[in-house]
Chains A and B, each alone.
Chain A
């Protein structure tokens, strides 16, 4: 199990339990976390599960793959910390991970 904290762009925080092997997007959808749409259901085919990874976690989480970068072209307010949450797989190393959802998805 790992704890993931989602902060929305207004500062509202939610910490939820995640299982290893799930993606951050799946954890958000399973817990009705607002601000994540995941239109394509996790196929890295849209950009509606966009999150900003907390600076302290950027190294552990890593950067986007080239395919993910292509999809991020369609997102709103992309920053160096931007990832698509469907492409972040939960491992024990991510226990405590903090991400922020953008003002809008697409």
Chain B
């Protein structure tokens, strides 16, 4: 277990609104750590539409998702945010001294005075396989990630997908599994060319079976898989014997553990008061697409505004002894000192 990181604020989510929250908090001397399940900053903007132009950011007539994230990173650099990528905040607890203990699924722990949830549509988690009845097998014989390779030793394994995850695991598990069948709907793969070549070599050697078609159903009982029903390109129906299945159908945003933090969610959104964007738990704020209030517009610019108001309230909590003096960035001594030091 790692040491607990003591900080003023933890921002959950490194999308545009989470990034701008670093700026607004920094302006009022609140230091922040930022956690995101993705491996880089930018959230949806970078994950879903890095090359797509955005036209409604004030002062930027046209900017791509990636461009916006890059600009925000440059803008918050003076405040030296600490990022913790590839992990998801799994637990949030209020401590007896009115601070918050946050734990990530990677074991990182934070002790923070305020928590800012800027989680957008949620964490990008593996998309459920579009196969009727798959729920009954999930976690028992159908897995969306490989925790321990040994679990697949000597198993008849079906892997579905045409991207890097599907092909990497095909290559990795073929030597230890009893059999590996890779199912993909077309004979075109999105994975890196080198990986595709290695997969095809294993198919040629007879180590891996490649089935071009789509899985249509599962056969088994009590969550234990016996076979995967699949339809080939020519419409013929097949049954492929399997004890385990790894479907890779990309990522989709899901709210995840936030739902369990006692924030009185309504339709998967976190209600906030519009004076400070504080949730029903004092000290926990929610900004951007994840929050709900009358008249809410899911725009990046709304999230930026919410970040500014949130920061004022967060600063009062972090520095209760201080008198808040409103500052403009053009004349802010905080910002100028940080810029000079950067």
A78 touches B185 (CB 8 A): yes
A73 touches B130 (CB 8 A): no
A104 with B252, Cβ < 8 A, contacts A77-B214, A78-B214 known = no
Instruction: Name B's interface SS.
Output: loop
A43 touches B252 (CB 8 A): no
A43 with B49, Cβ < 8 A, contacts A73-B185, A77-B214 known = yes
Q: Which residues of chain B have C-beta atoms less than 8 A from A1's C-beta? A: none
Q: Which residues of chain A have C-beta atoms less than 8 A from B185's C-beta? A: 72-73, 78
Residue of A nearest to B121 (CB): A39
A68 to chain B, nearest CB (A): 12
Residues 151-175 of B, flagged 1 when their CB comes within 8 A of A and 0 if not, give: 0000000000111000000000000
Number of interface residues of A (CB under 8 A): 16
CA distance in complex: A70, B216 (Å): 19
Does A16 count as interface, using CB distance less than 8 angstroms? Answer: no
A36 to chain B, nearest CB (A): 15
Band of interface residues on B: 20 to 34
A44 to chain B, nearest CB (A): 9
A74 with B250, Cβ < 8 A, contacts A40-B48, A43-B48, A69-B188 known = yes
A106 with B130, Cβ < 8 A, contacts A43-B48, A45-B48, A74-B249 known = yes
A104 touches B48 (CB 8 A): no
A105 to chain B, nearest CB (A): 8
Q: Which residues of chain B have C-beta atoms less than 8 A from A40's C-beta? A: 48-49
Does A57 count as interface, using CB distance less than 8 angstroms? Answer: no
- Which residues of A, 34-87, contact B by the 8 Å Cβ criterion? 39-40, 43, 45-46, 69-70, 72-78
Residue of B nearest to A70 (CB): B190
Q: Which residues of chain B have C-beta atoms less than 8 A from A104's C-beta? A: 130
Residues 183-208 of B, flagged 1 when their CB comes within 8 A of A and 0 if not, give: 01110101000000000000000000
CA distance in complex: A46, B121 (Å): 14
- 18 pairs of residues in contact across A and B, judged by CB atoms under 8 Å: A39-B252, A39-B253, A45-B48, A45-B49, A46-B252, A73-B184, A73-B186, A73-B190, A73-B250, A74-B127, A74-B130, A75-B130, A76-B130, A78-B214, A104-B130, A106-B128, A106-B130, A106-B252
In the complex, the 3 A-B pairs of residues with the closest C-beta atoms, listed nearest first: A76-B130, A45-B48, A43-B49
* A contact residues vs B (CB 8 Å cutoff): 39-40, 43, 45-46, 69-70, 72-78, 104, 106
